[in-house]
């Protein structure tokens, strides 16, 4: 079984595309969330290995949410349509959405 993943992004189309891509590359997407509040609920409900976390969410900045999400035991990877985001101490790194791939994620996993 692959890494259990939560995708957090306010764009449903991106979540759907990311799910398809990751599932084709052996990841198991167990949940999706459109904002920080949904992400916190999903992280509490599911055993996760990885959280893909958009920086710009309707209810806050993903960088501020990373520590709380990571406290559930999953690694947190920041994503954004921008390509100039600095990862925080509570994340394993950053990927621009247009560079998202299983290989790119695997290279960042600890």
CATH number at residue 76: 3.40.50.2300
- Pairing type for strands 50-54 and 75-80 reads parallel
The pLDDT tens digits for 78-105 are 999 998 899 989 999 999 999 999 999 9
| Residue 100 resides in a domain | no
Query: What percentage of the chain's residues is helix, strand, coil (to nearest 5)?
Result: 40, 25, 35
The total domain count for the chain is 1
How is 46-97 classified by DSSP, letter by letter? S--SEEEEESEETTEEHHHHHHHHHTTT-EEEEEESSS-PPP-TTSSEEEEG
Domain span holding position 55: 7-95
| Residue 37 resides in a domain | yes
| Residue 27 resides in a domain | yes
The pLDDT tens digits for 47-63 are 999 999 999 999 999 99
Report the C-alpha gap between 57 and 63 in whole angstroms: 10
Cβ neighbours of 46 (radius 10 Å): 15
């Amino acid at each position: 079984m692959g890494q259990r993943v939560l995708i957090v992004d306010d764009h449903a189309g991106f979540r759907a595309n990311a799910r398809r891509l990751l599932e084709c590359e052996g990841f198991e997407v167990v949940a999706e969330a459109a904002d920080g509040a949904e992400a916190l609920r999903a992280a509490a409900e599911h055993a996760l290995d990885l959280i893909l976390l958009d920086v710009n969410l309707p209810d806050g900045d993903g960088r501020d949410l990373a520590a709380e999400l990571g406290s559930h035991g999953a690694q947190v990877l920041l994503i954004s349509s921008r390509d100039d985001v600095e990862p925080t101490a509570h994340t394993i790194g950053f990927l621009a959405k247009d560079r998202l791939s299983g290989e790119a994620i695997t290279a960042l996993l600890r």
